[in-house]
A and B are shown apart, each in its own frame.
Chain A
Amino acid sequence: MSTISPTHTATDPHGGHGDHAAHPAHLAHHFDDAEQQYTAGKLGMWVFLGTELLMFGGLFCAYSIYRSNFPEVFAYAHQFLDRKWGAINTIILIASSLSMAWGVRAAQLGQQFLLRVMLLLTILGGAGFMVIKTIEYTHKYHSHLFPGRVNKFSAAYAGEKVVLDSFMSEHEGSEGEPAAKGESTAGMKTEAAPAVPATPVPDAIKPHLTVVGDGPVYIDPNAGQGDAAKIVPNFSHPAGLTPAMLPASAAEAHVSAHSVMVHDNLTLTEQKRVSTFFSIYFLMTGLHGVHVLVGMGLIGWVFLKSLGGTFGPEYYTPVDLVGLYWHLVDLIWIFLFPLLYLIH
């Protein structure tokens, strides 16, 4: 609006609350015109999306701090996540973002049928995502990898301790780790604390997995040298260093990004932190999952409205705003997937 039209001061274009006679039904009484209403809605939504980003920002911040403090823990623990499902979910969400954007375009062009189809497809994508997430969560639940006290790595966990290899054999080949497939030798080996700790030898590099009993009294191979003198086994290279940057001998012993780290590779302090990874994993993906559910609900609401032919070139604000929200949910997953599943 660049000038004051005389009608603005001479007559009120819209009457009181609830008086919609003089203007389209979807224009609220306190807006001058549809464009102002649309822009206000869009501004409000962007501001709200900013708050969403900041909310996830807290979790990303916690993630960064713990990952930079305990890179080995993250490198070890992320192996419990299933890249295959993660990748499929990423594709599903990106596809649903496409259908959502297509839906918005359909609404703008007034293509009612296409709009409904696209909204349904988007809801379907969300549902598919949640189903896969449920499969993953169930898997973790059965393996005692839930966050908190029920996590088998937690100091507070009361049950028997299990390590990665037994987890893998229990769920054969589900990890998508080439080195791990069919290589595990043991089932649920939960021996009592070994009198002699398993020695961390470079043959941990071999596809063969060292099976470690992890009883309540695990003896750190580096014990006795004090916390400060703790030696990080040289086959797990420092985070951020590529083999080329390592001295030749270390590079030889370097475990490639796709080989398996075993529980034994971690120091005692790091072993205590493994459950933190799962806490962060569940909190991040859990909060994201809640957002997916809310998004599905919102799209469902827009879908119901679209059945009445509410949307068209004149009015498509709800489709547009819900679409923005859905893209944000999608975007957050695009960050979560590599940060949690693709660490090396």
Chain B
Amino acid sequence: MSVTLPAGQVYVPGGGGGKPAPAGDNYLNHGTSILSWALTLDHKRIGLMYMVGVLSAFLLGGTFAIGLRTELFDPSPFFNKNSSQAWEFYNHMFTMHGAIMVFLFIIPAIPAILGNMVLPLMLGAKDVAFPRLNLLSFWIWVLGAVLFTFILLGGVVRVSVPAATWNGWQAALDGLHIGWILPGGLDTGWTFYTPYSTSKSTAGVVPATMGAFVLGFSSILTGVNFIASIHMLRAPGMTWFRMPLFLWAIYGTALIQILATPVLAITLMLLMAEKILGVGIFDPALGGDPVLYQHFFWFYSHPAVYIMILPAMGIISDVISVHSRKHIFGYTFIGFSSVAIALLGFLVWGHHMFVSGQSPMANAIFSLLTMSVAIPSAIKVFNWVSTLYKGDVRLTTPMVYALYFIVLFTFGGLTGLFLGAVSTDVHLTNTYFIVAHFHYVMVGSTLFAFLAGVYHWWPKMFGKMYNEKVGVIAATIVFIGFNLTFFVQFIAGSLGMPRRYATYPEQFHIYHQISTIGAYVTACGLILVLCHWISSLRSGKKAAANPWGGNSLEWHIPSPPPHDNFVGKPIGNDPYDFSQWKETGENVWEFDPSVSPTPIRARP
């Protein structure tokens, strides 16, 4: 499929010939009925539907985060005078926070929203390879979300009926081995570790694992779709090494999605069988092995953290290059490091079990492999910094998020090395150090990159500009709040504050207070972001086709894109060569075909 531009072929932005869409017709107003959205095969609309769903889940998970930080503000019980009920409520809150954020928000956020939105545009394709599968994948996501909501309903029922009645029901149902039918919330942690989840917890383990199982299918279908699209639908001239780096990252992500998610599916199926039938694969009382569960679970879930971070890295590569008006530094290295991270990510799951009774030899090997992931990650950071060097850096909102990303990701990545080394990990396991580390990576990096991506493609998605000042202020509030929340947790954790506890000794009071205040600040910042988006939709000024001067194919077509994306067939070119774009106004760049593209050898 590799095609080179024949001699004399003139590059036409957005493809040439064909019948252009009628003026004003775009994917947003091409059909207005509810069904034209619900049953759409248009990748852009599916991306938008994902955006609504995934952001709702984010709101829900965020509410739980605020709830649990509120409980932790003070060591005494907050939500209930009865401390044991308050602690139990806390267990439910942190579990729902983790499960919703991981399964419903972070994993689908970038691939499903932004991937769906821009992947075919960047490829120069009219749609993803299997549009029907794409729609199916969205509705499967909705089904999974409903199953999670079902647990919430169970929790509400539980809170509203007297404890005695509840226990009576639960005992009766347990006698029939169907206690899982009426879940009373979820209190296992998002990892569903056995044997607690299968033998002790009476809460909604089955609906939750069923939900995660179903969401896994959504993820697999998206992955299959993206891999087939990238292989088959690249526009003429779009060689593998002319793809925007976001696509390399999405490709790596899709690889993980299809290789790891099926293992999670079977693990959760075994867990459900264990819970419902008592089959004894994981429960030691029935002859099972709980560490086997941990191996199965992390064989998926460790690669899954790369599902979260890889596409984020892709966004940052694109944003940094476009907003510093400079060709990306080390394109090949960044591209291959994405694939390297995807593959290395499969070999490091054992570092979650350093204290679970693994042999010292296995610990040493997993430790070494874990360290090796730092290499491709660092390659990316150095290349981003080199791209910024002597660039015409414009502090737009996406760029500000990208810069914050580099800082936070460096923190998250370097603290990961503490946890990858067995000796320090033994001290830090299950402390707030872990919590701080993975929040720096999942929130500080993935969420910031997601916001960078949303702001970067916002004009393309909605055809509206936003107020840069407000965007930058909101980004800074989120950044400050985030660091307030989590930096102190590194200190508390290394002093020995264990994670998942609802209360703590007085000596940790100050850290928890700072952390809770930070959480409120972050929440304010994020609410400001949401208001900013709404105000841009309502009164933003019309966006030009290319507000940033980017050269990947999505900037060659109108904003918002027409229903069919491209008129005719576009031709792939170097996405990071900006020499043919001239800035003709604020956030308006025009394509100038008279300028010839920079020859490859002359590029930095």
Which residues of A are at the interface with B, using a C-beta cutoff of 8 A?
1-4, 8-12, 15-17, 28-31, 36, 39-41, 43-44, 47-48, 50-59, 61-62, 65-66, 146-150, 154-156, 272-273, 275-276, 279-280, 282-283, 287
Bound CA span A337–B568, Å: 53
In the A-B complex, the 8 residue pairs with the smallest Cβ-Cβ separation, listed nearest first, are A148-B277, A58-B266, A12-B18, A279-B279, A55-B262, A30-B126, A40-B232, A54-B262
Contact A9 B15 (CB under 8 A): yes
Kindly identify which residue among A8, A47, A61, A275 contacts B258, using a CB–CB cutoff of 8 Å. A47
Kindly identify which residue among B12, B231, B286 contacts A43, using a CB–CB cutoff of 8 Å. B231
Bound CA span A148–B276, Å: 8
How far apart are B301's CB and chain A's nearest CB, in angstroms?
A: 13
> Which residues of the other chain, B, contact A41 by a CB distance below 8 angstroms?
130
Measured CB to CB, the nearest residue on chain B to A4 is B236
Contact A58 B6 (CB under 8 A): no
A9 in contact with B12 given A51-B258, A148-B277, A283-B273 (CB within 8 Å): yes
Contact A51 B9 (CB under 8 A): no
Bound CA span A150–B278, Å: 9
Contact A40 B262 (CB under 8 A): no
Contact B287 A54 (CB under 8 A): no
Contact A147 B279 (CB under 8 A): yes
Among B288-296, B356-364, B432-440, B446-454, the stretch that binds chain A is: B288-296
Tell me if B42 counts as interface (CB < 8 A to partner A): yes
Bound CA span A73–B262, Å: 28
Bound CA span A55–B269, Å: 10
Contact B262 A4 (CB under 8 A): no
Tell me if B505 counts as interface (CB < 8 A to partner A): no
Contact A10 B17 (CB under 8 A): yes
Contact B564 A8 (CB under 8 A): no
Contact A59 B129 (CB under 8 A): no
Measured CB to CB, the nearest residue on chain B to A29 is B126
> Which residues of the other chain, B, contact A10 by a CB distance below 8 angstroms?
16-17, 568
> Which residues of the other chain, B, contact A149 by a CB distance below 8 angstroms?
177, 277-278
Measured CB to CB, the nearest residue on chain A to B236 is A4
Bound CA span A144–B128, Å: 50
> Which residues of the other chain, A, contact B16 by a CB distance below 8 angstroms?
9-10
Kindly identify which residue among B177, B224, B269, B569 contacts A12, using a CB–CB cutoff of 8 Å. B569
Contact A40 B129 (CB under 8 A): yes
A51 in contact with B126 given A16-B564, A39-B232, A59-B266 (CB within 8 Å): no
Bound CA span A283–B231, Å: 35
A154 in contact with B258 given A15-B19, A149-B177 (CB within 8 Å): no
Bound CA span A2–B229, Å: 18
Contact B3 A1 (CB under 8 A): yes
Contact B269 A287 (CB under 8 A): yes
How far apart are B32's CB and chain A's nearest CB, in angstroms?
A: 15
Contact B227 A11 (CB under 8 A): no
Contact B225 A156 (CB under 8 A): no
> Which residues of the other chain, A, contact B296 by a CB distance below 8 angstroms?
58, 61-62
Within 8 A of A (CB), among B27-64: 41-42
How far apart are B46's CB and chain A's nearest CB, in angstroms?
A: 14
Classify chain B: how many residues form its interface, as a range: 35 or more
Bound CA span A51–B15, Å: 36
Contact B281 A279 (CB under 8 A): yes
> Which residues of the other chain, A, contact B232 by a CB distance below 8 angstroms?
36, 39-40, 43
Bound CA span A155–B267, Å: 22
A55 in contact with B568 given A155-B286, A276-B281 (CB within 8 Å): no
> Which residues of the other chain, B, contact A52 by a CB distance below 8 angstroms?
262
Contact B129 A3 (CB under 8 A): no
Bound CA span A48–B263, Å: 13
Measured CB to CB, the nearest residue on chain B to A50 is B258
> Which residues of the other chain, A, contact B41 by a CB distance below 8 angstroms?
17
> Which residues of the other chain, A, contact B267 by a CB distance below 8 angstroms?
58
> Which residues of the other chain, B, contact A275 by a CB distance below 8 angstroms?
279-280, 286-287
> Which residues of the other chain, A, contact B15 by a CB distance below 8 angstroms?
9, 12
Tell me what chain B mostly uses at the interface: helix, strand, loop, or mixed.
Answer: loop
> Which residues of the other chain, B, contact A148 by a CB distance below 8 angstroms?
273, 276-280
> Which residues of the other chain, A, contact B510 by a CB distance below 8 angstroms?
none
> Which residues of the other chain, A, contact B225 by a CB distance below 8 angstroms?
44
Bound CA span A36–B569, Å: 15
| Centre residue among B12, B259, B273, B281 by max chain A CB count within 10 A | B281
Write the B532-570 contact mask toward A (1 if CB under 8 angstroms, else 0).
Answer: 000000000000000000000000000000011001110
Bound CA span A65–B133, Å: 36
Kindly identify which residue among A9, A17, A283 contacts B279, using a CB–CB cutoff of 8 Å. A283
> Which residues of the other chain, A, contact B206 by a CB distance below 8 angstroms?
none
Measured CB to CB, the nearest residue on chain B to A275 is B280
> What are 5 residue pairs bridging A and B, where the CB atoms are less than 8 Å apart in the complex?
A9-B16, A9-B569, A9-B571, A57-B262, A148-B277
Kindly identify which residue among B5, B12, B130 contacts A44, using a CB–CB cutoff of 8 Å. B130
Tell me if B104 counts as interface (CB < 8 A to partner A): no
Bound CA span A182–B127, Å: 67
Tell me if B220 counts as interface (CB < 8 A to partner A): yes
Contact A147 B273 (CB under 8 A): yes
> Which residues of the other chain, A, contact B262 by a CB distance below 8 angstroms?
51-55, 57-58
Tell me if B228 counts as interface (CB < 8 A to partner A): yes
Bound CA span A185–B15, Å: 84
Contact A43 B228 (CB under 8 A): yes
Bound CA span A39–B126, Å: 17
Bound CA span A330–B262, Å: 19
Measured CB to CB, the nearest residue on chain A to B1 is A1
Tell me if B443 counts as interface (CB < 8 A to partner A): no
Contact A8 B568 (CB under 8 A): yes
Contact B280 A279 (CB under 8 A): yes
Bound CA span A11–B20, Å: 11
> Which residues of the other chain, A, contact B281 by a CB distance below 8 angstroms?
62, 66, 276, 279-280
Tell me if B285 counts as interface (CB < 8 A to partner A): yes
Tell me if B131 counts as interface (CB < 8 A to partner A): yes
How far apart are A8's CB and chain B's nearest CB, in angstroms?
A: 4
How far apart are B127's CB and chain A's nearest CB, in angstroms?
A: 4
> Which residues of the other chain, A, contact B292 by a CB distance below 8 angstroms?
62, 65
> Which residues of the other chain, B, contact A272 by a CB distance below 8 angstroms?
287
Measured CB to CB, the nearest residue on chain B to A274 is B287
Bound CA span A149–B277, Å: 6
> Which residues of the other chain, A, contact B152 by a CB distance below 8 angstroms?
none
Measured CB to CB, the nearest residue on chain B to A3 is B6
Bound CA span A148–B571, Å: 59
A154 in contact with B265 given A1-B236, A8-B236, A276-B287 (CB within 8 Å): no
> Which residues of the other chain, B, contact A1 by a CB distance below 8 angstroms?
1, 3, 236
Bound CA span A2–B130, Å: 24
Bound CA span A273–B228, Å: 44
Tell me if B402 counts as interface (CB < 8 A to partner A): no
> Which residues of the other chain, B, contact A150 by a CB distance below 8 angstroms?
277
Contact A47 B227 (CB under 8 A): yes
Tell me if B125 counts as interface (CB < 8 A to partner A): yes
Bound CA span A61–B295, Å: 11
How far apart are B450's CB and chain A's nearest CB, in angstroms?
A: 26
> Which residues of the other chain, B, contact A280 by a CB distance below 8 angstroms?
281
> Which residues of the other chain, B, contact A30 by a CB distance below 8 angstroms?
120, 125-129, 131, 233
Bound CA span A51–B228, Å: 14
How far apart are A161's CB and chain B's nearest CB, in angstroms?
A: 16
Tell me if B261 counts as interface (CB < 8 A to partner A): yes
Measured CB to CB, the nearest residue on chain A to B11 is A9
